[in-house]
Amino acid sequence: MKTGMALCEPCVWLLLLFCAMILFSAGCDKASKSSVLIITGGHGFERDAFFAMFDSYADVAYTEIEHPAANDIYGSPDINNYDVLVFYDMVQDINETQQQQMLALLDQGKGMVFLHHSLVSYQQWDEFGKIIGGRYHLEREGSDITPSTYKHDVKLPVQIVDKKHPVTRGLENFVIHDEAYGGFTVRSDVRPLLTTTHEDNGETIAWTNQYKNARIVYLQLGHDHFAYEDANYRKLVNQAIKWVQKNDGDTN
C-alpha cells in the first residue's frame, strides 16, 4: 500500500523553477545593495537611533568597524568587500602607512561619505583637509584662525544650493534640529550642496569633493536622533552613498 503521493513530472519542474526564481531574486537583491563600511570611534553617539537610520535603507547593507581597528582595514583585502566608506568618527591618530593606504583607496576610486564630527579628525594630517574638503579647528592656528565653535540643540534652516544634484535631488529647503558648527574652514574647490543662515553656523554645511579618482561627500548635519530620524537627512545620507559609489569619471 502506498502511503505517499508522488509528484507528477510537470509539478516537479514547476517546483524547481519556483526555487530557482527565489534564489535568483535573493542574489539580485544582495547584488543591488550598496555594501557600506561605517567607521566609528572617538566620539560618543546615540547608537540605536543612528543604526536605525541605516536599517531603514532597503538598498544598503552595512558593517561597523570602530577605531583603533578602523585605520588598519584600509590596507586589508577585506576593504574590497565594501563599495563605500561612511565616516562617523573623530580621531587623531593615523600613522604614515595608514595614510598611504587611505590615499591608495582614493586613487582606486573608493567613494567616501563623511558625517558631522568626522570633520574634526586628523588635525595633524594636512592632506586630510584636502580629502574631506574642509577643517574644523580644535586650536588656534597662527594669527588668523581661531578655534571653531559648536552649539547643541539649534534649529538650522537649510537651503538647497543645487536641487538637481543626485545627492540633493527630491529635497526642498527644510529646518532641522541639530548641532551648529561655527568658524570652520571650507576649501574653495569643493562644490556646495547645502547652506544655512544660522548665526552660530558656517554658511556651507554640505559639499561634494573630488580627490584623486574618488567622489567625496561631507554632511555637517547628524548630531543625534533628531537628525537621524529626519526624513530629509535620511534621504541625504542615502543619496550621498549612492552617488559616491558611482565611479564613471563624472563628478557632477
Q: Which domains does the chain have, with CATH numbers?
A: 35-245 (3.40.50.880)
Total-model pTM: 0.86
Q: How far apart are the first and last CA of the chain?
A: 73
**Would the pLDDT of 2 be above 90?**
no
3-state secondary structure of 242: helix
pLDDT tens digits for 46-85?
999 999 999 999 999 999 999 999 999 999 999 999 999 9
**Would the pLDDT of 10 be above 90?**
no
The DSSP output letter for 118 is G
Please, what sign has the CA dihedral across residues 104, 106, 112, 118? Answer: positive
DSSP string covering 29-41: HHHHSEEEEEEEE
Query: Residue 144 has what pLDDT?
Result: 79
Q: Can you point out the beta strands (E) in 121-203? A: 134-135, 149-160, 174-182, 185-186, 191-196
| Segment 214-219 mean pLDDT | 98
**Would the pLDDT of 21 be above 60?**
no
Provide the residue type at 64 as one letter.
E
* 22-36, 60-74, 120-134, 233-247, range with the lowest pLDDT: 22-36
How many angstroms separate the Cα of 7 from the Cα of each of 3, 10, 14, 15, 111?
A: 13, 8, 11, 10, 51
pLDDT tens digits for 145-199?
899 999 999 999 999 999 999 999 999 999 999 999 999 999 999 999 999 999 9
Distance CA 18, CA 215 (A): 41
